Amino acid sequence: MSIAITTQIICFTILSLVILIGALGVVLLESIVYSAFLLGGVFMSVAGLYLLLNASFVAAAQVLVYVGAVNVLIIFAIMLVNKKEDLKPINDIKSRRIISTTICLTLLSLLIRVDLTNVWSLSSPQNSIGEESTIRIGEHLFSDYLLPFEVASVLLLMAMIGAIVLARRDVMSKDISTGLPVDQELIEKSSEPLLTNKN
Amino acid sequence: MEYRLDLEYSFNEFLKGFGLSSEIAHIIWLPLPMLLVLVAAVVGVLVTVWLERKISAAAQQRIGPEYAGALGVLQPIADGLKLLVKEDIIPAKADGILFTAGPILVLVPVILSWLIVPFGQNLLISNVGIGIFLWIALSSIQPIGLLMSGYASNNKYSLLGGLRAAAQSISYEIPLALSVLAIVLMTNSLSTIDIVNQQSGAGILSWNIWRQPVGFIVFWICALAECERLPFDLPEAEEELVAGYQTEYAGMKFALFYLGSYINLILSALLVSILYLGGWGFPIPVELIAKFLNLPINAPFIQVFTASIGIVMTVLKAYLLVFIAILLRWTTPRVRIDQLLDLGWKFLLPISLANLLITAGLKLAFPQFFGG
């Protein structure tokens, strides 16, 4: 076995372990901040897997979009609403956990079954396009995938405008959907200084 | 085959002379350029810290450091040693793991980005195809480290500083990426080598700064904001936030932040010189001079000479920009946070978008000047 293949196997093992353990940590840890940071680690490891598959552009895009934007926004949101709140204990927490675990395990077994029964058409490493993939992705985005690409951009634009309208409710005196006057108390609450309740 | 200065090839041949296989020679070669670049980055930081102290002293009509070595050149080393032996304090109510991981997450992406900085045709660690995009992606990891250290310090100044740093960093990343995109559009490639080669046609006249003046200014402003240099150093604004996310840090962890910000400054200066100022190119093309003097361009000594001129030119251009950044720091007042976000979102973003659009139009109209 050549050194290159050994390195690849070692990298793959480490990355998969980080992904598995990190993902479990995201779900199971009590502290939401830890979960958010671990999620960033999981995203990074997925980018590492893309790198192992010779898809460097996809890996960099993964880092830019998921780690640099999505994860940062999640952490931002957590830190801006970091009020200490006493949550009510849930009575039937045990049965809920059992049900969710069963559902997750069923989905996992389904995925494993698909993985084992499907015949994957793997291309040999010689056929991989490697560095050329940036150009190919661009060509596809502007030819046969143009419509999904544009629809996705319109969707994101709509989400952005919606978020702005929600965030700047103070500019409107009436609620858009119901036509009732806006609940001013809610606005007062949201514009309270951040760290007053944190002691 | 055309002879080119290829250190890797000659090094591997040299090791094979001792009877090593080519794979082992490659493994021995791999860490060498990385170590070299790391050392170069750290030396660059020492020089920049010294320059900062001397130039700020001159700007304020002081003398600055003068006892440690001639003209105080050893002062940065003394600073570094002091930070190295200082006690490492973790506040009692801080979150130990995140507190330690924060500075590392800030420093590592910056150092990794040096992977794509070319000092000559073959003088870079790796000519990755995605080149400049790798830097943009890596620099987007930094805010996570800043948020992490701000949160873990368990201090309101730190938290606010971390939030400000992350907000600033993500708002200025967009115009930065858009102005890089205009360059990439002209080059037809993301690789830093191709970007420099595209500007090497007619010496100083073909540098991108003449074709992308708006992009150059937008990029430089955004780069300063990403480095948290003074007109934009809100995350550590000392009158408001003590020292922002660095407030609780001491010793080596503080030094990591310090090192990270200066390495980032040098990296940004290097990237401006690569993207807009012709990289390693001499103002008059070396090929023209060689032809004028009737020297063969492929002769080994000319190759070595060209390579050293390349390194000198890259470093010279970068330090010129570092000098401008230091002057800016000691002569301009700090902007307010709302002014900062206004400038980023309402001014730089539309301008860089328009710049991209105009570049695309000019590329279609004059393909010979704006890349075919």
Residue pLDDT, tens place only, B190-222 = 888 888 888 877 777 778 888 888 889 999 988
Instruction: Name residue A174's beta-bridge partners.
Output: A181
Q: What angle do CA B331, B353, B355 make, to 5 degrees?
A: 75
Band (pLDDT 50/70/90 cuts) for residue B2 is very low
Q: How far apart are CA A153 and CA A134, in angstroms?
A: 20
Tell me what pLDDT residue B333 has. Answer: 83
Tell me what pLDDT residue B353 has. Answer: 92
Q: Which residue of A has its CA nearest to B98?
A: A34
CB contact under 8 Å between A134 and B141, yes or no, is no
Q: How far apart are CA A82 and CA A76, in angstroms?
A: 10
CB contact under 8 Å between A57 and B129, yes or no, is yes
Closest to A63 measured CA to CA, from A41, A37, A35: A41
Quick one: average pLDDT of B123-145? 83
A72 neighbourhood in chain B, CB within 8 Å: 140, 143-144, 147, 166, 170
Residue with tokens 């002209």: B186
Task: Kindly report which listed range (A46-50, A139-143, B127-131, B177-181) carries the lowest average pLDDT score.
Answer: B127-131
Q: What is the pLDDT of residues B140-158, one digit of tens each?
A: 888 888 888 888 888 888 8
CB contact under 8 Å between B141 and A68, yes or no, is yes
| Mean of per-residue pLDDT scores for chain A | 80
C-alpha A122, offset from chain centre? 27
Q: How far apart are CA B50 and CA B68, in angstroms?
A: 11
Structure ipTM: 0.80
Identify the DSSP state of B67.
Answer: S
Length of chain B (residues): 372
Closest CB to B23: pick one of A3, A80, A132. Answer: A3
C-alpha B124, offset from chain centre? 14
Q: Which of B96-105, B157-166, B172-181 has the highest mean pLDDT?
A: B172-181
CB contact under 8 Å between B137 and A56, yes or no, is no
Calculate the dihedral angle through the C-alpha atoms of A79, A84, A90, A96, rounding to the nearest 10 degrees: 20
Q: What is the pLDDT of residues B341-361, one digit of tens each?
A: 888 888 999 999 999 999 888
Identify the DSSP state of B140.
Answer: T
Q: How far apart are CA B309 and CA A42, in angstroms?
A: 44
Tell me what pLDDT residue A111 has. Answer: 93
CB-based contacts of B41, cutoff 8 Å, min separation 6: B111, B114, B263, B266, B267
Tell me what pLDDT residue A84 has. Answer: 62
CB contact under 8 Å between A37 and B159, yes or no, is no
Q: Which residue of A has its CA nearest to B157?
A: A195
Q: Does the pLDDT of residue A192 top 50, yes or no?
A: no
Give the number of other CB atoms < 10 A from CB of residue B64. 16
Identify the DSSP state of B115.
Answer: G
Q: Does the pLDDT of residue B269 top 60, yes or no?
A: yes
- A90 — contact with chain B (CB < 8 Å)? no
Q: Please give the full DSSP string across A24-37, using - where no structure is assigned.
A: HHHHH-S-HHHHHH
C-alpha distances out from residue A153 to A148, A156, A157, A184, B109, Å: 9, 5, 6, 33, 29
Instruction: Name residue A181's beta-bridge partners.
Output: A174
Q: What angle do CA B39, B44, B49 make, to 5 degrees?
A: 130
- Tell me the two tokens of residue A161: 């405008």
Q: Can you list the alpha helix ranges (DSSP code H) found in chain A?
A: 3-28, 32-52, 56-62, 72-80, 93-117, 133-141, 146-167, 184-190
Task: Kindly report which listed range (B21-35, B87-101, B328-342) carries the lowest average pLDDT score.
Answer: B21-35
Distance from CA of B5 to the nearest CA of A (A): 24
CB contact under 8 Å between A134 and B129, yes or no, is yes
B104 neighbourhood in chain A, CB within 8 Å: none
- A131 — contact with chain B (CB < 8 Å)? yes
B115 neighbourhood in chain A, CB within 8 Å: none
State the count of interchain CB pairs (< 8 A) between A and B: 73
B106 neighbourhood in chain A, CB within 8 Å: none
Element (H, E) at B284: none
C-alpha distances out from residue B245 to A136, A191, B268, Å: 42, 24, 22
A67 neighbourhood in chain B, CB within 8 Å: 140-141, 144
Q: Which amino acid is at B136?
A: I
| Mean of per-residue pLDDT scores for chain B | 82
